[in-house]
């Protein structure tokens, strides 16, 4: 029984060490040394693999080396193969830290002060108390909930928008497309933490940005394709969106000519808001091995009907 590793080659040694300690029954193989493909029961991959079903007839679980699974074509996966996300608490913690940093940066107007610094301007601006700042999170899942929990002690007015009703600490959860505009209308800072699916692709467009209070902040840690990027740039240039912290873009990295590099109202990071933590990811694999042995349902399986 073996797991085939097709994720970041630089991290392979660490995955191998953790797995061989915690699941010694599982042989670790690294692509392209697949050995006998019939022995491959598990694959850990960041990108989809062509001819997966034909090559690995005994494959049981495809572990996605990330929280998002939009890179995989679920329709291509054989029915007997489960797609599993390696999400764990530490990954959510790291994401919550990034969201906290970004909310605080927008809340305390860091983009403006950065512009002031560059042009030699010393100009204090009014301070808004956190209790007067409304922060809304789209997607109250593993990561969204962790971010809300991290923001709550700072006193922000919190809300969430989600497909199903979720508990939002200290605030309201808006549900479904019918309540999206209402939700957006009360977000001084909007944080996108949705998974990318056919329903959420391009969900943040010009009309939706117009729903936000004028000058609202925007943080995107979901996926670039949630946003119609030209609409965001137009909204930023018009001041409708006052500033944006973007960790994800449609094209990563953007082309050298992309306006995202130098826009004064954008803080850009290279898709680093969070990442699978090896120790936590291995813990999911080990727990799922135990569950398989005991005939229990395995954890973190992607729901094919929902796409996340």
Helix H segments across the chain?
A: 12-22, 52-55, 89-107, 110-118, 142-151, 180-184, 206-211, 229-237, 278-293
CA distance 174 to 211: 15
144 binds ligand NDP (CB under 6 A): yes
Q: Kindly calculate the radius of gyration of the chain based on its CA atoms and give it in whole angstroms.
A: 21
Comparing CA positions, the residue from 218, 227, 167 lying closest to residue 196 is: 227
Q: Which stretch binds ligand NDP (CB under 6 A): 12-20, 112-120, 219-227, 255-263?
A: 219-227
Nearest approach, Cβ of residue 259 and ligand NDP (Å): 20
Q: Mask: binding to ligand NDP, 274-293, rule CB under 6 A, as x and -?
A: x-------------------
Q: Mask: binding to ligand NDP, 60-79, rule CB under 6 A, as x and -?
A: -------xx-----------
Catalytic position from the list 223, 226, 263, 265? 223
Is 271 catalytic? The answer is yes
Nearest approach, Cβ of residue 267 and ligand NDP (Å): 14
Q: In the set 65, 184, 187, 193, which binds ligand NDP (CB under 6 A)?
A: 193
172 binds ligand NDP (CB under 6 A): no
Nearest approach, Cβ of residue 21 and ligand NDP (Å): 26
- How many residues contact ligand NDP, by CB under 6 A? 28
CA distance 157 to 17: 44
Q: Phi-psi bin for 271: left (phi > 0), alpha (psi -120 to 50), beta?
A: left
CA distance 265 to 219: 12
CA distance 254 to 268: 11
Q: In the set 200, 240, 277, 288, which binds ligand NDP (CB under 6 A)?
A: 200
305 binds ligand NDP (CB under 6 A): no
Q: What are phi and psi of 136, to 5 degrees?
A: -120, 135
Helix (H) or strand (E) holding 137: strand 134-138
194 binds ligand NDP (CB under 6 A): yes
271 binds ligand NDP (CB under 6 A): yes
136 binds ligand NDP (CB under 6 A): no
Contact 203, 209 (CB under 8 A): no
260 binds ligand NDP (CB under 6 A): no
141 binds ligand NDP (CB under 6 A): yes
CA distance 149 to 139: 14
Q: What are phi and psi of 301, to 5 degrees?
A: -75, 135
Task: Identify which of residues 200 and 288 has a Cβ nearer to ligand NDP in the complex.
Answer: 200
Bridge-partner residues for 246, per DSSP?
220, 268
> Which positions touch ligand NDP (CB under 6 A)?
67-68, 87, 139-144, 162-164, 193-197, 199-200, 221-223, 247-248, 271, 273-274, 308
Annotated catalytic residues are: 223, 271
């Amino acid at each position: 029984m073996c797991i085939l590793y097709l994720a970041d080659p630089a991290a392979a040694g660490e995955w191998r060490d953790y797995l061989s300690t915690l699941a010694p029954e599982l042989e670790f193989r690294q692509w392209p040394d697949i050995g006998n493909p019939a022995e491959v029961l598990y694959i850990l991959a960041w990108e989809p693999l062509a001819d997966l079903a034909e090559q690995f007839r005994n494959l049981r679980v495809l572990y996605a080396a990330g929280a998002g699974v939009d890179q995989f074509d679920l329709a291509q996966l054989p029915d007997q193969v489960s797609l599993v996300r390696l999400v764990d608490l530490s990954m959510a913690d790291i994401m919550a830290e990034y969201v906290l940093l970004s909310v605080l940066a927008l809340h305390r107007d860091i983009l403006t002060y950065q512009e002031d610094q560059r042009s030699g301007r010393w100009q204090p601006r009014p301070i808004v108390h956190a209790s007067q700042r409304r922060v809304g999170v789209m997607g109250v899942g593993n990561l969204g909930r962790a971010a809300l929990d991290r923001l709550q002690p700072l006193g922000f007015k919190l809300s969430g928008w989600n497909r199903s009703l979720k508990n939002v600490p200290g605030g309201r959860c808006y549900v479904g497309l019918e309540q999206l505009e209402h939700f957006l209308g009360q977000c001084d800072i909007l944080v996108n933490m949705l998974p990318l699916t056919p329903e959420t692709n391009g969900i943040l467009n010009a009309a939706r940005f117009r729903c936000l209070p004028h000058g609202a902040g925007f943080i995107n840690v979901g996926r670039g394709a949630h946003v119609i990027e030209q609409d965001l740039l137009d909204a930023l240039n018009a001041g409708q969106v006052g500033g944006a912290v973007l960790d994800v873009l449609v094209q990563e990295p953007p082309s050298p000519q992309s306006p995202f590099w130098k826009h004064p109202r954008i803080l850009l990071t290279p898709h680093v808001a969070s990442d699978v933590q090896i120790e936590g990811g291995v813990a999911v694999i080990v727990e799922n091995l135990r569950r398989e042995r005991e005939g229990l349902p395995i954890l973190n399986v992607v729901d094919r009907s929902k796409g996340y």
